[in-house]
Structure 1
Amino acid sequence: MSIAILVLSGTPAIAQEFSLKNGTDDVLVTGTSTLHDWEITVEEKSGTLALDTSGELPALQRLNLQIVAESLKSGKGSMDKNTYNALNTDDHKDIRFRMKEVRSLEPVQSPGKQYKAVLGGTLTVAGQAREIDLECVLTIETGRVLLKGSEPLRMTDYGIEPPKALLGTIKTGDEIEIHFNTVWTR
């Protein structure tokens, strides 16, 4: 049975609201450079998720995530500064994902409280919005929802020039990956 049919069936939805809290999960960005691989941790994020579990399959009705761009921290001040310059954080304070639809949802185990999902939505980075399909594993527990996955991206797709250092002798690779293991609570 299609998730779209469950969401649009006309049955009143009994959605439970969940929020993302800082410090209960991990979101990080990884990439490469001509010198070494690197990792940046997201320290400030917020979001809301609405989920109806009354049907045969859960119906994810809403998922919005917001990251404070200057909360990306590498542990190295100069790298953080280069990151903020590349993201133009003076003009673009946040990175946002807004789900538009659930493209697929399949149980991982039976009986299931864990599902493989593909979420279609808009990712906005440095003021540039692009449609993406976010693959993740959705786990439903009492009082909370876990979302885990990773998403490869190219900086240039968002109008970001990969940062350089030491007069261009150190160059960051265009490809990055966002890894997330988030906990959403009621």
Structure 2
Amino acid sequence: MKKIVSLAAVLLAASAFAGNLSFESGSIKAHTEVFGDSSIDPTAKKATSHLSMDAAPATLKGTIEISMSDLISDNKKRDTNMQETLESSTFPKAVFEIKEVVVKGGDNVILKGAMNLHGVTKPMSFEGTVSEEASKVRIKVKSSMKMTDFGITPPKMVFLVVRDQVDLNVDVVLKR
């Protein structure tokens, strides 16, 4: 009987650390540049989380997505051009699916998975940290990608072309 009670207590304690994670706050920034302007930083300040994690970061799995219309910079005209370039009315979301978490030590991880953007799915990895405090999980990771890998033609402005590489910086807090 004691073994059954002990097992039940362990299962209940484990279930307190398991579960779905919902987006609470943070940002997902997509940095690129054009000659003379290195401050092109459209940012989404909300996301939809379909993530879950048990007690350890290695168990993190699921997807996180943003609406392309939520990517906003400091320039409305640029945002309009960006939405046209991304064809956000046809491809309204970007979704990253975490398929594997490689723990490098401490909170340091590599999130390996697949990015679906502009109707194209490609393998992608993010490197950074996953940490937990109380009932909140913070994911702070970065990666880079090329627009052309996802079928997106970098926009041109007269003689200037926006850099093909986009640096992604994710800093989000999720709650259990």
TM-score by length of 1: 0.80
User: Unaligned stretches of 5+ in structure 1?
Assistant: 1-10, 109-114
Matches of residues 1-80 of structure 1 in structure 2 within 5 Å? 14=15, 15-21=18-24, 24-37=25-38, 38-53=40-55, 57-80=56-79
Instruction: Name the one with the larger helix percent.
Output: 2
* CA deviations over 1:55-74 (Å, ceiling 9, x no partner): xx544242311100011111
Distance, in Å, in 2 between the alignment partners of 1:169 and 1:77 is 21
Distance, in Å, in 1 between the alignment partners of 2:62 and 2:51 is 4
Distance, in Å, in 2 between the alignment partners of 1:152 and 1:72 is 17
Give the deviation of 1:87 after TM superposition. 0.9
Give the deviation of 1:169 after TM superposition. 2.1
DSSP-derived class of the 1:89 partner: coil
Give the deviation of 1:150 after TM superposition. 1.1
The residue number in structure 2 matching 1:4 is none
2:26 and 2:46 in contact (8 A); partners too: no
Distance, in Å, in 1 between the alignment partners of 2:131 and 2:153 is 36
Match for 2:124 among 104, 129, 132? 132
How many percent identity over aligned positions?
A: 22
Q: Closer, same or farther in 2 for the Cα pair 1:52/1:43, shift >3 Å? A: closer
User: Unaligned stretches of 5+ in structure 2?
Assistant: 1-10
1:152 and 1:175 in contact (8 A); partners too: yes
* CA deviations over 1:71-113 (Å, ceiling 9, x no partner): 11112121111111111112101011011122x11332xxxxx
Corresponding pairs, count: 162
Give every structure 1 segment of 4 or more consecutive aligned residues whose post-TM-superposition deviation is greater than 6 Å.
Answer: none
Give the deviation of 1:129 after TM superposition. 0.7
Give the deviation of 1:130 after TM superposition. 0.4
DSSP-derived class of the 1:79 partner: helix
The residue number in structure 2 matching 1:91 is 90
TM-score by length of 2: 0.84
DSSP-derived class of the 1:91 partner: coil
* CA deviations over 1:103-148 (Å, ceiling 9, x no partner): x11332xxxxxx2111221101111110112212011111010010
The residue number in structure 1 matching 2:154 is 162
Match for 1:105 among 95, 98, 103? 103
Name which one, 1 or 2, has greater alpha-carbon Rg.
2
DSSP-derived class of the 2:167 partner: strand
Task: Tell me the C-alpha RMSD between the 2 structures.
Answer: 1.9
